[in-house]
Amino acid sequence: MAIFHLLLSWTAQAMMFLFFLIFIAFVGYCFYLKHIHMKYDHIPGPPRDNFFLGHSSSLLGAMKNDGLIHDKFLEWTEKYGPVYRINILHYVSLCISCPEATKEILMSPKYPKDKFVYKKLFNLFGQRFLGNGLVTAQDHKQWYKQRRIMDPAFSSLYLRGLMGTFNETAEKLMEKLTDIADSKREANMLHLVNCVTLDVITKVAFGVDLDLLKNSSPFPRAIETCLKGMMYYVRDLFFELKPKNKPFINEVKEACHLLRTTGARWINERKIAIKNGNDVPKDILTQIIKTADKEESMTKEDEEFMLDNFVTFFIAGQETTANQISFCIMELGRHPDILEKVKKEVDDVIGMKQDISYDNLGELTYLSQVLKETLRLYPTAPGTSREVSEDMVIDGIHVPGGFSGVFSSFVSGRLEKFFKDPLKFDPDRFHPDAAKPYYCYYPFALGPRSCLGQNFAQMEAKVVMAKLLQRFDFTLAPGENFDILDTGTLRPKSGVVCTIRHRNYKK
């Protein structure tokens, strides 16, 4: 009995000591929190408790509503100015729309990507996702090594050779639209161009022909599931703790696993084929493997990086381009005058020929303006963030180091001080003779960490749009809404449902 009481006494003392340590840690954290807040109190911003209020006017509420978070950032930028703070516990984020600071931070390699956001993309619910690929790598040397391996596969010379694939895959979309036009059905353009862009990236990057407009595949569903899971994982801190979410979490893990195991198989098959001297496609995967082999011997870590970038290309290579094309179709449907102007240019440059050449793309200047204006209003990757460890002066405000700088291309593209009548769709903003936007237009980010595949994406978008405009007239379905859905990238919520008709050429 005495031993039992002794054990009970020791347990009670241990519990009291544990609670004492927790109390001390809590008090210490509170003092640290106060120190952090006082450090940045001179910078304007929403109330500190705004993140935790949970309703639609708070940041947390906005994060849980599709697309609303970017409108919230825009609202706060207009209210608080070109630099304002958001406090999330001891993390301080500064939302920056000052062009000079944007230039200084994004154009320099010394500011790494923000670990609060990008480390969350390493895995999804414990399953490795983007890992340390080109998008997420924080260490500059690690990123630079990967970029050096990838660069040859995206050179202008190599991209010229992809025109055949762009034309061939876009032709399959034209055949599908012909069937739709003949049967007088409505077309969900987002779904159709998603199939096309995924076909393109798998063909030109990995030598695999999915032909998704005719065949079924688990990949579109897996990509959509991963993107949806990514939003919940990054934005809802308690999502994983709710038992009702377990089935969806398992679905996300399976989707990540499918993409990575498929990538591992395709990479391994290609490496064996190259080693055996077999004929292999001259695609991006072959370019990457051969370039990597010229480096020092490949390590297991390098192979994981290659797999990380496989998943990155697989998702980013189709999702962002498909969304841009869909938004472009949506805006042209809303602006018949612009639609007629860009159709005339396509007719003048391409005429009736089926294959579009690389040189033709350079002649489609007004279509380029239309695509750029689409990205101004609807940047498919709406922002980026960087860690800033040193003191800075931003728009006349001294800012102590230790903050995360958030740069929203969605916000800067919709500010009156940068673009007159910013909500108006006006491709003439990007006329060759117009003044160039000064570090307020960056849909592909800026500097050394800008999107590697931006030229690839714009070439593909031009080919698809030029063929569509050459062959068909389209009008938006009655009641079509223009809301934006945020799934990590921005996409049209409605899917852009259109009525498709063959063009009636006047002789």
451 annotated ligand-binding residue: yes
Residue 119 phi, psi (nearest 5): -70, -25
* Backbone phi, psi, residue 328, to 5°: -65, -45
Among residues 404, 411, 401, which one has the least CA distance to residue 118?
Answer: 404
* 452: its two tokens: 């590697």
Other C-beta atoms closer than 10 Å to the C-beta of 502 total 12
| Kind of pairing between the strands at 403-408 and 91-96 | parallel
d(CA 263, CA 222): 13
CA-closest candidate to residue 467, choices 224, 168, 260: 168
- For the chain, the residue count is 507
Query: In the structure, how many helices (H) and strands (E) does the chain have?
Result: 18, 13
**Please, what sign has the CA dihedral across residues 265, 270, 273, 275?**
negative
From the centroid of its chain, how far is CA 156? 23
d(CA 200, CA 321): 11
- Return the H-helix or E-strand segment holding 47: none
3-state SS class at 128 = strand
Which amino acid is located at 180 in the chain?
I
Cβ atoms within 10 Å of 496's Cβ, excluding its own: 28
Residues annotated in a binding site: 451
Residues annotated in a binding site for heme: 451
